[in-house]
Amino acid sequence: GQNIDQPTEMTATEGAIVQINCTYQTSGFNGLFWYQQHAGEAPTFLSYNVLDGLEEKGRFSSFLSRSKGYSYLLLKELQMKDSASYLCAARSGADYKLSFGAGTTVTVRA
- Tell me the site size for other proteins, rule CB under 8 A: 24
* 86 interacts with other proteins by CB under 8 A: no
Q: Does 16 bind other proteins (CB under 8 A)?
A: no
Sequence-ordered list of residues with C-beta below 8 angstroms from that of 12, at least 6 positions apart, any chain: 18, 78, 106, 107, 108, 109
Query: Could you tell me the CA-to-CA distances from 89 to 66, 80, 108 in Å, in that order?
Result: 14, 24, 23
Query: 48 with 55: CB under 8 angstroms?
Result: yes
Tell me which stretch binds other proteins (CB under 8 A): 21-29, 30-38, 54-62, 69-77: 30-38
Query: Which residue in 16, 17, 50, 54 binds other proteins (CB under 8 A)?
Result: 50
The answer to whether 18 contacts other proteins (rule: CB under 8 A) is: no
Sheet (strand 60-65) strand order: 3-5, 18-25, 70-75, 60-65, 53-57
Tell me which stretch binds other proteins (CB under 8 A): 15-23, 57-65, 66-74, 101-109: 101-109
Q: Which residues bind other proteins (CB under 8 A)?
A: 1, 4, 30-31, 33, 35, 41-45, 48, 50, 87, 89, 95-103
